[in-house]
Structure 1
Amino acid sequence: MAAEGKVDPMHQFTIQPLFGSDGWNIAGYNVAFTNSALWMALATVVLIVFVAGGLKRQVVPGRWQMAVETFTGFVAGMLAANVGPNGKKYVPYIFSLFMFILFANFLGLMPLGVLGVHPFTFTSHFTVTGVLALLSFAIVLVVGFAKHKLHFFSLFVPHGTPVAMIVPIFFVELVSFLVRPFSLGLRLFVAMMAGHVLLEVLSSFVISSGNANIGLFAVAGIPSFVLMIGICALELLVAGIQAYVFALLTCVYLNDAENLH
């Protein structure tokens, strides 16, 4: 948000009610339709359209169908490598999770500001990434207890642990296991938030130096603008990597639930 030549780097993360929904309440709870909800809906629509375009099943696939099949094969390979043959049944979930985060990250980086539309990166909010992490964690728990019953607790006692160390090792492993959803959601949230804040800070240098004088703009403004271009390219890479890391770690956790390794 620019005002008097200044940029507030945190304004872009503000959740705002849309379409006059700020007064919507159900059972005393505000249920306003926010900019975050709007961009989540857009990411969902893009994902649905993307998958629908790959369902043609042509003998000679077009580019769209090939793109969907490539991503599906990529996810299937990731599950096969980390979970084994039992991982095939998780392809729909991991594919949806990976593509949803990927589209969310990319939509938040689109230069729509020139059209008067301000993208909102909802993966830069821990409430969103935390819920996605808890969903994956819940699936791991359900699978683990459904398949192994109480034997699932053996996951917290590594094979070969001395008898005297079983109790302390059990609690250490249990705490480590319970921290997983927090670290999973935090990693994505921090990565996306940090990049957007850095871009806003650099843009403030460009605006402030441009409003000051031509000399300061040449010394600080132009280098900052060039650096912004490089960071934008880096952010595109980070957007893809973070979606991959989130899906990969979910696969690793599912491997624990399936195979108790």
Structure 2
Amino acid sequence: MATEGGSGIDPMHQFLVEPVAGSQLTIAGYNVSFTNSALFMVITLSVLWLFMLGGLRRQLVPGRWQAAVEGVTGFVSNMMDANIGPKGRAFTPYVFSLFMFILFANLIGLFPLGIVPGWHPFTVTSHITVTAVLAFVSFAIVLIVGFARHGLHFFSLFVPHGTPKVMIPLIFVIELASFLVRPFSLGLRLFVAMTAGHILLDVFASFVVQGFNAGGGLGAVVSVLSFVMIIGISALELLVSAIQAYVFALLTSLYLNDAINLH
């Protein structure tokens, strides 16, 4: 994306939230226009809904589409059973939805829409506001489940078994602080991973353009090497997209395990 002066490429422009409809629409003095961030969240949910339609066919001999859906649902279900046990099955739909939304949002943000004039991809998980909401919703569920099941006994989670009595006050404070940091680290991890990858892609893309514009043998070498780096980073980003979705879902299941089983 060009900078304001038109002299280069601004790698941060891709994260700019811009209205795509209703830019003048306000409610109680607040602008409530439909933004590119909201658009890509709708696209993500629509693609996810279409993907899940394949799992509703219930064919005796599943096709590739149905097998893919059943494979993902089985993967998340097995993760919940391994981390929580039978009690965790009630939360499988939530963790599954969380995993699939993050995965699809990450992958859709990598689509090369920039080749279409006036379009550019937008990764909603590269915004801390989105990842923070997902993290705090998960954390709120953990707190609600913990206190609903155990009441004030939930605080025993912050005192590990076998802790000497003289150390209980210090250990309690440390464990409580570690527990309260969880939503911040959960949301920040996903945000940083996706933002860093997209910045790298944009930076190397600028090297490709500037190398060709510079001309000469050196410019061509820089452009070719930068293009090769883009291919490598794109492949890595595909892997990171899946890993970050898995890590977010895995940590959510582990936090739920603490609330359910007080481990």
TM-score, normalised relative to structure 1:
0.97
Q: Does 1:95 align with 2:100?
A: no
- Which residue of structure 2 aligns with residue 192 of structure 1? 194
- Which residue of structure 1 aligns with residue 2 of structure 2? 2
**Contact 1:123–1:189 at 8 Å: present in 2 too?**
yes
**Contact 1:18–1:35 at 8 Å: present in 2 too?**
yes
- Which residue of structure 2 aligns with residue 145 of structure 1? 147
- Which residue of structure 2 aligns with residue 57 of structure 1? 58
Instruction: State the aligned residue count.
Output: 260
**Contact 1:18–1:34 at 8 Å: present in 2 too?**
yes
Letter paired with 2:205:
S
| Aligned-partner Cα distance in 2 for 1:122–1:216 | 37
- Which residue of structure 2 aligns with residue 40 of structure 1? 41
Of residues 82-91 and 237-246 in structure 1, the stretch that sits farther from structure 2 once superposed is: 82-91
Give 1:164 shift: 1.1
- Which residue of structure 2 aligns with residue 209 of structure 1? 211
Give 1:8 shift: 0.4
Give 1:66 shift: 0.8
Letter paired with 1:44:
L
- Which residue of structure 2 aligns with residue 82 of structure 1? 83
Letter paired with 2:2:
A
Letter paired with 1:57:
R
Of residues 57-66 and 109-118 in structure 1, the stretch that sits farther from structure 2 once superposed is: 109-118
- Which residue of structure 2 aligns with residue 115 of structure 1? 116
TM-score, normalised relative to structure 2:
0.96
| Aligned-partner Cα distance in 2 for 1:2–1:17 | 19
Where structure 1 has 5 or more consecutive residues not aligned to the other structure, the ranges are none
Match of 1:173 among 169, 172, 175: 175
- Which residue of structure 2 aligns with residue 133 of structure 1? 135
Give 1:23 shift: 2.0
| Aligned-partner Cα distance in 1 for 2:215–2:185 | 45
Give 1:5 shift: 5.8
| Aligned-partner Cα distance in 2 for 1:30–1:164 | 55
| Aligned-partner Cα distance in 2 for 1:174–1:154 | 10
| Aligned-partner Cα distance in 2 for 1:32–1:222 | 41
Query: How far does the alpha carbon of each residue in 1:155-207 deviate from its partner, in whole angstroms, 9 at most, with x for none?
Result: 01111111111111111111110110000000000000000000111111111
| Aligned-partner Cα distance in 2 for 1:47–1:131 | 19
Letter paired with 1:140:
V
Letter paired with 1:65:
Q
SS of residue in 2 equivalent to 1:2: coil
* Structure 1 segments (4+ residues) deviating >4 Å: none
**Contact 1:79–1:251 at 8 Å: present in 2 too?**
yes
**Contact 1:133–1:181 at 8 Å: present in 2 too?**
yes
**Contact 1:155–1:260 at 8 Å: present in 2 too?**
yes
| Aligned-partner Cα distance in 1 for 2:220–2:115 | 24
Query: How far does the alpha carbon of each residue in 1:38-89 deviate from its partner, in whole angstroms, 9 at most, with x for none?
Result: 0001101111111122101111111111111000000001101111111111
- Percent of residue pairs bearing the same amino acid type: 66
Q: Does 1:244 align with 2:235?
A: no
**1:5-24 mapped onto 2 (5 Å cutoff):** 6-19=8-21, 21-24=22-25
Give 1:137 shift: 0.4
Letter paired with 1:181:
P
| Aligned-partner Cα distance in 2 for 1:14–1:119 | 11
Where structure 2 has 5 or more consecutive residues not aligned to the other structure, the ranges are none
**Contact 1:5–1:208 at 8 Å: present in 2 too?**
no
**Contact 1:6–1:207 at 8 Å: present in 2 too?**
no
SS of residue in 2 equivalent to 1:22: coil
